[in-house]
């Protein structure tokens, strides 16, 4: 989609995320001597209004530069981006998932943006959950763009009925409050937490000082069997018991929004966007939902959370690296970070910019958690771990009474095998 009205019409017909779908520049469309910067963004990442504001302002501030933006679908994006990186007609800027940067960097077809990021973009302030996955072997290939993470969504009426007047500030208080909210089988659930919500487990593992996997001497191994990781699983087990979540399914089976919409669940752990799905199913809950960061072990320091979101990369075959970097710097800079956060309810790429969403309860809660955000292990093979996902059966085994130590050793061994580069 381009700034021109032509692009808006085309986007309605060819809206596709990562791929070559979208509107291109028509023959004779460019002014003589102008430069076109091609940008791939993911479908749903920005609104048409935001894109219009950005392209209009950017092109006004950069005479002779035209932005050609196409939206891509997430489905199949990996193959499309990899093919684009190899082609002689690569886009100049590509939005990718923050945990995808490593696999693209491994191709050797990305620009190392270390100097640019260090010089202009305040890299020391970036959210770790976005910055760390974009850095491979000391080189910064992905520039953090925006973040999203899980928070606690709670039913205000159920909290009030239980005499809880404010969200808990610490994990200990949270567990006590959740126990108070739980009426047992057939009554109010203190929390609905599916047994295989492994992203939430990861946060507890990190909060205890553990890891899902660790790298030593260039080799990765699973680490769920460490004492710290086992403590994280114990927290999950205690919390999950304060509701009726299934032990052998994740948060999408059934969708936790559907369960929460029933009205007898006090809390779920989810991105704030899930609240819209809840209200859609039960409009009576529209003004009864609240949000707070997942509590950590001490007041004022939320639990570590998995940070989802996007980074921006520049292919080595970009026709104009300098122009591409100018676009990235604008998108990742303070002005447009604040605009994007307010428009899309995202977390900006720096905690210092979180005041942009200070008046939005859900996004502010998300931003507080994002300050302690983490990403999955920065191995190109981690996608194989997620595909096979030995973490899920490990969690079910523990919740059903199997020895945590034994189940964790089995899961860690499987993770180690999947992360081997010589398979």
Summarize pLDDT for 24-65 with one digit per residue, the tens: 333 333 444 589 999 999 999 999 999 999 999 999 999 999
> Tell me, what's the pLDDT at 16?
33
Residue 19 reports pLDDT greater than 50: no
- What pLDDT, in 10s, does the model give residues 220-241? 999 999 999 999 999 999 999 9
Tell which residue, 100, 144, 101, has the closest CA to residue 122.
Answer: 144
pLDDT band at 123 (very low <50, low <70, confident <90, very high): confident
Angle between helices 198-207 and 227-240 (to 10 degrees): 130
Q: Can you give the pLDDT at residue 23?
A: 39
Residue 423 confidence (pLDDT):
72
Exposed/middle/buried for 298, CB within 10 Å: 0-12, 13-18, 19+?
A: exposed
CB-CB contact of 152 with 200 (8 Å): no
**What pLDDT is attached to residue 202?**
98
Confidence of residue 403 (pLDDT cuts 50, 70, 90): very high
Name the nearest CA neighbour of 85 among 98, 100, 69: 100
Per-residue pLDDT for 4 more than 90? Answer: no
Q: What is the DSSP string of 360-421?
A: -HHHHHHHHHHTTEE-S---TTHHHHHHH-THHHHHHHHHTT--HHHHHHHHHHHHHHHT-T
For helices 334-344 and 321-332, give the axis angle rounded to 10 degrees: 60
Q: Which residues have C-beta within 8 Å of that of residue 131, sequence separation ≥ 6?
A: 123, 140, 144
| pLDDT score at 6 | 32
Residue-wise over 373-401: b if at least 16 C-beta within 10 A, else e? bbbbbbbbbbbbbeeebbbbebbbbbbee
Candidates 101, 32, 49, 61; CA nearest to 342 is: 49
79-90: pLDDT as tens digits: 999 999 999 999
Q: What per-residue confidence (pLDDT) applies to 115?
A: 80
End-to-end CA distance of the chain: 41
Helix (H, G, I), strand (E, B) or coil at 65: strand
Measured distance CA(194)–CA(391) in Å, rounded: 13
Report all structural domains of the chain as residue ranges with CATH numbers, in order of start: 5-148+308-374 (3.40.190.10), 151-305+377-418 (3.40.190.10)
Q: Is the pLDDT of residue 134 over 70?
A: yes
Task: Quick: pLDDT tens for 363-381.
Answer: 999 999 999 999 999 999 9
Residue 20: is its pLDDT beyond 60? no
Q: What is the pLDDT of residue 117?
A: 65
Nearest to 303 by CA among 246, 232, 211: 232
Structure tokens at 123: 């890299």
pLDDT at 359: 85
Give the model confidence (pLDDT) of 256-270 as tens digits: 999 999 999 999 999
What is the pLDDT, as a whole number, of residue 118? 60
Distance CA 296, CA 298 (A): 6
Place of tokens 């085994």: 397
In DSSP terms, 146 is beta-bridged to: 310
What pLDDT is attached to residue 33?
58
- Decide: 398 and 404 in contact? Cβ < 8 Å: yes
As a whole number, the mean pLDDT across the chain is: 90
The confidence score (pLDDT) of residue 157 equals 97
Note the pLDDT of residue 32. Answer: 43
Distance CA 283, CA 277 (A): 10
Give the closest residue to 70 by CA, choosing from 29, 108, 113, 36. 36
Q: How far apart are CA 338 and CA 327, in angstroms?
A: 16
- The mean pLDDT of 312-328, rounded to a whole number, is 95
207: tokens are: 């909060």
Q: What is the pLDDT of residue 187?
A: 87
Do residues 404 and 335 touch, judged by C-beta distance below 8 A? no
- The answer to whether residue 213 scores a pLDDT higher than 80 is yes
pLDDT above 90 coverage of the chain, percent: 85
Rounded Cα–Cα distance for residues 331 and 58 (Å) = 10
Average pLDDT of span 176-187: 91
The predicted pLDDT at position 11 comes to 37
Res 76 pLDDT > 50: yes
Residue 129 pLDDT > 80 = yes
């Amino acid at each position: 989609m381009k700034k021109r009205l032509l692009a808006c019409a085309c986007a309605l017909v060819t809206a596709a995320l990562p791929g070559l779908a979208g509107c291109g520049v028509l023959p004779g469309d460019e002014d003589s001597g102008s430069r076109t910067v091609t940008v791939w963004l993911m479908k749903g990442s920005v609104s048409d209004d935001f894109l219009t504001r950005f392209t209009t302002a950017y092109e006004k501030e950069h005479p002779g530069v035209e932005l050609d933006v196409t939206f891509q679908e997430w489905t199949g994006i990996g193959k499309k981006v990899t093919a684009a990186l190899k082609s002689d007609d690569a886009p100049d800027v590509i939005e990718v998932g923050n945990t995808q940067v490593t696999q693209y960097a491994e191709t050797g077809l990305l620009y190392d943006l270390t100097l640019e990021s260090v010089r202009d973009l305040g890299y020391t302030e970036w959210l770790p959950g976005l910055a760390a996955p974009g850095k491979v072997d000391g080189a910064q290939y992905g520039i953090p763009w925006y973040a999203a993470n899980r928070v606690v969504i709670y039913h205000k009426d159920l909290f009030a009925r239980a005499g809880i007047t404010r969200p808990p500030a610490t994990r200990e208080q949270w567990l006590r409050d959740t126990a108070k909210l739980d009426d047992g089988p057939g009554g109010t659930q203190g929390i609905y937490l599916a047994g295989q919500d492994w992203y939430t487990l990861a946060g507890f593992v990190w909060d205890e000082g553990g890891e899902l996997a660790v790298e030593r001497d260039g080799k990765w191994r699973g680490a769920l069997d460490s004492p710290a990781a086992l403590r994280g699983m114990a927290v999950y087990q205690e919390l999950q018991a304060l509701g009726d979540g299934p032990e052998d399914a994740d948060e999408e089976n059934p969708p936790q929004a559907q369960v929460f919409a029933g009205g007898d669940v006090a809390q779920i752990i989810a991105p704030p966007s899930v609240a819209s799905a809840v209200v859609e199913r039960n409009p009576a809950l529209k003004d009864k939902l609240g949000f707070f960061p997942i509590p950590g072990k001490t007041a004022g320091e939320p639990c570590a959370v998995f940070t989802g979101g996007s980074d921006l990369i520049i292919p080595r075959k970009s026709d104009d690296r300098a122009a591409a970097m100018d676009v990235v710097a604008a998108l990742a800079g303070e002005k447009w970070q604040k605009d994007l956060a307010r428009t899309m309810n995202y977390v900006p790429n720096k905690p210092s910019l979180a005041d942009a969403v200070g008046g939005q309860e859900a996004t502010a809660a998300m931003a507080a958690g994002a300050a302690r955000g983490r990403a999955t292990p920065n191995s190109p093979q981690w996608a194989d771990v997620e595909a096979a996902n030995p973490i899920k059966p490990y969690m079910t085994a523990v919740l059903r009474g199997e020895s945590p130590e034994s189940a964790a050793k089995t899961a860690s061994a499987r993770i180690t095998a999947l992360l081997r580069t010589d398979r």
